[in-house]
Structure 1
Amino acid sequence: MDDVSRPPVLAEDALLGLLLPFWQLIIGALVLFAVVVSIGRLARRGPSRMSTALLVTAAVIVGFALLGVLLQG
């Protein structure tokens, strides 16, 4: 008996390919929103809880992550 391989279903792959960047964008926006809200709350608590250096470090990390996502495509 011969093994007959089935051709891949291209419609499903194309649909997933169209939806994947959309979901990545939504997840990225929600993460960015959570980071901005948390930095705002910590900054309102004053320098005893959150130093400027920590805010700058967090901003750099978010910036590098954003650049990575933008340059990925």
Structure 2
Amino acid sequence: MDDVSRPASPVLAEDALLGLLLPFWQLIIGAFVLFAVVVSIGRLARRGPSRMSTALLVTAAAIAGFAVVGVLLQG
């Protein structure tokens, strides 16, 4: 009998392992981001209300800008 070339079947064990690890890495990255945000908010709060209001205005402008870009790129 001739050797019939079969299509390579995907290795499901590797996909399952990666699927289990992916949420774990997202959790680790999210924890580092949350830590950085908390530390930066603490530093801003110690600098006083004028710096805090400026930071809030810049953040609000950035959020509005991202929303506008998202709406423009959708259509």
* Segments of 4+ moved more than 4 angstroms: 1-7, 55-73
Determine the C-alpha separation between the residues in 2 that align with 1:28 and 1:70: 28
Q: 1:44 to 1:67 in 2, by over 3 A?
A: farther
Q: 1:66 to 1:6 in 2, by over 3 A?
A: farther
Deviation, structure 1 residue 39: 0.5
Deviation, structure 1 residue 34: 0.2
Q: 1:16 to 1:65 in 2, by over 3 A?
A: farther
Structure-1-length-normalised TM-score: 0.62
Structure 2: state its 5+ residue gaps.
Answer: none
Structure 1: state its 5+ residue gaps.
Answer: none
Asked if the contact 1:39/1:55 (under 8 Å) is kept, the reply is no
Aligned-residue CA RMSD (Å): 6.5
Partner in structure 1 of residue 30 of structure 2? 28
Amino-acid identity (%): 93
Structure-2-length-normalised TM-score: 0.61
Deviation, structure 1 residue 32: 0.5
Structure holding more helix per residue: 2
Which protein has the larger Cα radius of gyration, Structure 1 or Structure 2?
A: 2
